[in-house]
Amino acid sequence: MTDLVKIEKSLSTIDVSKLVPFTKKIHEIGHGFNPMLAPIYLRDFIIAYDIATVMYATATKADIMAKAALEQAESIAFLENAGPFIKESGLKDSAEARKKYIALDEGVKQAQDTKAKTAAILAFLKNKLQVFRLAHDDVKKMAYTDQYQTDNEGM
């Protein structure tokens, strides 16, 4: 199993659909929210944050591995694959010509694609972590500070 296959397999274990119910709860905060529901919402956003953190850790590991795989693919392209390509093309073999070849190499393209996937999932999960953290803090503020309570609440 190649490194890229291992990375893709690791990414496939990240099931972001687990975050959907928690994301929907964020939209519920503004509709009929009351301090009695606060502990449930706080618990749910803590759970969501925890789930997203595990996913983020998995994605971070995959991203580090993808970066290493990309660097390795670029090295192989430069040192091994560029020579025969340049020779077939009738060009002079030079460091500059080898550098130009790197972008054409299929192994590099695959590694770049995998690296792009890991970067995208990291960005998505980083945002989700922030959203769940902010939702948790907002529920806490709405439920436990006087600023959002009516005269009949918070006694």
Domain boundaries, the chain: 47-145
Cα–Cα dist 29/38, whole Å: 9
For the chain, how long is the longest CA-to-CA vector? Answer: 85
Cα–Cα dist 55/89, whole Å: 45
At residue 149, the pLDDT reads 54
At residue 28, the pLDDT reads 86
At residue 151, the pLDDT reads 56
153: pLDDT strictly greater than 60: no
154: pLDDT strictly greater than 70: no
155: pLDDT strictly greater than 60: no
Please report, for the chain, how many H helices and E strands are present, in that order.
6, 0
Nearest by Cα to 106 from 66, 65, 77? 77
At residue 109, the pLDDT reads 97
123: pLDDT strictly greater than 70: yes
Average pLDDT, the chain: 92
* The amino acid at 117: K
Cα–Cα dist 101/85, whole Å: 8
Based on the number of CB atoms within 10 Å of its own CB, is 90 exposed (0-12), middle (13-18) or buried (19 or more)?
A: exposed
Render pLDDT for 29-78 as a digit per residue (tens, 0 to 9): 877 677 888 999 999 999 999 999 999 999 999 999 999 999 999 999 99
At residue 150, the pLDDT reads 56
User: Which residues neighbour 10 within 8 Å (Cβ) at sequence distance 6 or greater?
Assistant: 58, 61, 62, 65
Q: Tell me which DSSP letter residue 105 carries.
A: -
At residue 1, the pLDDT reads 67
What is this structure's pTM? 0.85
- What is the residue whose two structure tokens read 């299929």? 106
With beta carbons less than 8 A apart as the criterion, state whether 132 and 50 touch.
no
